[in-house]
Amino acid sequence: EPEVTQTPSHQVTQMGQEVILRCVPISNHLYFYWYRQILGQKVEFLVSFYNNEISEKSEIFDDQFSVERPDGSNFTLKIRSTKLEDSAMYFCASRGTASNQPQHFGDGTRLSIL
Amino acid sequence: SQQGEEDPQALSIQEGENATMNCSYKTSINNLQWYRQNSGRGLVHLILIRSNEREKHSGRLRVTLDTSKKSSSLLITASRAADTASYFCATDALDNFNKFYFGSGTKLNVKP
């Protein structure tokens, strides 16, 4: 069964540095998402992406964050000038075209800011 | 806020028993989905139920949806130790199916 894959599985970065989290969505999916889960807390929506542009974003997704689909397969989340509170699991998800199709999630990237 | 909330927050049962988890949400939806998350792993999709459906089954899973009460339940029958995980409901919004809200989850522990 096709899967969403995320790399790296664990990223350790110094505060203030930039990180790029990578995702390869399921190949025929057209909607892409990033979520964040701080340890012990709920999964929080960050952003959705369709047709090469952001379709929705949450209050968390401020100017520090950006997303990109640099080629036909990758979907990236860039976090500039990282802060300690950015430490979390970051999940990528993708979905097919119909609104009643589920999102499929990757296993996440654990981001640790030191 | 649309965010769903599950209850109970934690549930501990013996293998073979049934487990019921509930989810409530605040505004009208298109779909409600249930996900499972094993510790330190990603979210695994279990069932999607549309707003015009009242019940759905998948193997040992049974999901109900009551849009008048804005609530859903997930029943796992004949539970197994391997069902130990956190279970989350996720909802979209009627006017925006592209933004999803997760609840805080129910942590299920099935004792062998």
**pLDDT band at residue B4 using 50, 70 and 90 as cut-offs:** low
Work out the minimum CA distance from A75 to partner chain B, whole angstroms: 17
pLDDT of residue A98: 73
Label residues B72-105 b or e (16+ Cβ within 10 Å = b): bbbebeebeeebbbbbbbbbbbeeebbbbbbbbb
Residue A60 above 90 pLDDT?
A: yes
Nearest Cα to Cα of residue A110 among B102, B39, B4: B39
Segment B43-70 mean pLDDT:
95
Residues from chain A contacting residue B85 (CB–CB below 8 Å): none
The three-point CA angle B41-B43-B94 to 5° equals 155
Residue B101, C-beta contacts closer than 8 angstroms, at least 6 positions apart: A45, B1, B2, B3, B4, B25, B90, B91, B92, B93
Segment A18-37 mean pLDDT:
94
Strands B106-111 and B10-14 come out as parallel
How much of chain A exceeds pLDDT 90, in percent?
A: 74
Considering only CB atoms, A100 lies closest to which of B3, B45, B48, namely: B48
Q: Classify the phi-psi angles of A99: left when phi > 0, otherwise alpha if psi is within -120 to 50, otherwise beta.
A: alpha
How much of chain B exceeds pLDDT 90, in percent?
A: 69
pLDDT of residue A40: 83
Residue B39 above 90 pLDDT?
A: no
Q: How far is CA B28 from CA A10, A33, B25, B105, in A?
A: 37, 22, 8, 20
Residue B29 above 80 pLDDT?
A: yes
Residue B1 above 70 pLDDT?
A: no
How many C-alpha atoms does A63 have within 13 Å on its Cβ side? 0
Q: Do A103 and B33 touch (CB under 8 A)?
A: yes
Instruction: Using DSSP, state whether B81 is helix, strand or coil.
Output: helix
pLDDT of residue A35: 96
Work out the minimum CA distance from A84 to partner chain B, whole angstroms: 20
Residues from chain A contacting residue B90 (CB–CB below 8 Å): 43, 103
Q: Do B88 and A91 touch (CB under 8 A)?
A: no
Residue B40 above 90 pLDDT?
A: no
pLDDT of residue B61: 97
Query: Cβ–Cβ contacts within 10 Å for residue A8, how many?
Result: 12
Got the DSSP string for B15-47? Answer: TTS-EEEEEE-SS--SEEEEEEE-TTS-EEEEE
Q: Do B101 and A45 touch (CB under 8 A)?
A: yes
Q: Closest-CA residue in chain B for A95?
A: B98
